[in-house]
């Protein structure tokens, strides 16, 4: 089980996200300032905001993440390759690529493998996460695409986009991925809006959490920790 001793340690496994298509610059600026204040691992924004965020974070250790093929994933391979190259040129430290769900459904796994390989190749030292949209896949499809992702050398398997009106991260999916590719890192995302959910997914084996409720999750953790410590103090335990 995960047992975070401090809000700082919890924040380091959180990727604070705003991928809304109506996000204004002031919304992104608030995301960045919160990330610096709380010490989140990264902020994840649309490619449009990557260069803007990179400038704001130049004196911080907070990473800049962005997306490729988002949110549906059915772009041509060459388009995803270009998107990755362009975002990296603009300052992205991490790439979250949506896999081609259509190709998975028709068992065109050659296309799935090719697109992942090409994005990994152009990304070089930039970390790559492959979003497999678990809510749209069968158990067998999750197993197959997880093995392909591992073979292609991606850094993380990410559960969901949170944008396709399907269930997001589930502990059962994380357990399945861990069973099939036990050495792969996992980013849980989609529907994670409170500490209880985040804790459950991290305890199931997720290595990171992607959420648009990052500050609320850490604040909730702090509140529960404070209440627990007050209880121990009242009982004379501390």
Catalytic residue flag (residue 55): no
Determine, yes or no, domain membership for 13.
Answer: yes
Determine, yes or no, domain membership for 1.
Answer: no
CATH code at 218?
3.20.20.70
Determine, yes or no, domain membership for 61.
Answer: yes
Catalytic residue flag (residue 158): yes
The set of long-range contacts for 163-169, using a CB threshold of 8 Å and a minimum separation of 24, is 163/19, 163/70, 163/71, 164/71, 164/72, 164/133, 164/135, 164/136, 166/133, 166/135, 166/136, 167/134, 167/135, 167/191, 168/135, 168/192, 169/134, 169/201, 169/206
Q: How many domains would you assign to the chain?
A: 1
Determine, yes or no, domain membership for 45.
Answer: yes
Determine, yes or no, domain membership for 2.
Answer: no
pLDDT, tens digit, 9 for 90 and up, residues 178-215:
999 999 999 999 999 999 999 999 999 999 999 999 99
Mean pLDDT, residues 21-32 taken together:
98
- Between residues 238 and 163, the one the model is more confident about: 163
Q: Point out the catalytic residue in the list 80, 129, 144, 158.
A: 158
Determine, yes or no, domain membership for 120.
Answer: yes
Catalytic residue flag (residue 96): yes
Q: Point out the catalytic residue in the list 96, 155, 170, 173.
A: 96
Q: How confident is the model at residue 230 (pLDDT cuts 50, 70, 90)?
A: very low
Is pLDDT of 83 > 80? Answer: yes
Query: 0.75 exceeded by the pTM?
Result: yes
Domain that holds residue 146: 7-234
């Amino acid at each position: 089980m995960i047992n975070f001793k401090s809000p700082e340690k919890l924040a380091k496994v959180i990727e604070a996200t705003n991928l809304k298509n109506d996000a204004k610059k002031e919304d992104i600026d608030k995301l960045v300032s919160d990330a610096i204040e709380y010490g989140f691992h990264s902020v994840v924004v649309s490619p449009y905001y990557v260069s803007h965020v990179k400038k704001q974070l130049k004196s911080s250790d907070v990473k800049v993440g962005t997306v490729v093929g988002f949110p549906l994933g059915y772009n041509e391979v060459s388009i995803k390759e270009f998107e990755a190259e362009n975002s990296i040129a603009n300052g992205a430290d991490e790439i979250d690529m949506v896999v081609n769900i259509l190709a998975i459904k028709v068992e065109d796994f050659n296309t799935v493998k090719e697109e992942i390989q090409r994005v990994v190749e152009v990304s070089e030292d930039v970390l790559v996460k492959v979003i497999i949209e678990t809510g749209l896949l069968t158990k067998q499809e999750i197993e197959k695409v997880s093995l392909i992702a591992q073979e292609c050398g991606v850094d993380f398997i990410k559960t969901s986009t949170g944008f396709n009106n399907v269930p997001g991260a589930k502990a059962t999916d994380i357990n399945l991925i861990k069973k099939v590719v036990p050495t792969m890192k996992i980013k849980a995302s989609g529907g994670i809006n409170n500490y209880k959910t985040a804790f459950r997914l991290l305890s199931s084996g997720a290595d990171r959490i992607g959420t648009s409720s990052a500050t609320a999750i850490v604040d909730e953790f702090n509140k529960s920790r404070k209440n627990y410590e007050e209880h121990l103090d009242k009982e004379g335990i501390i």
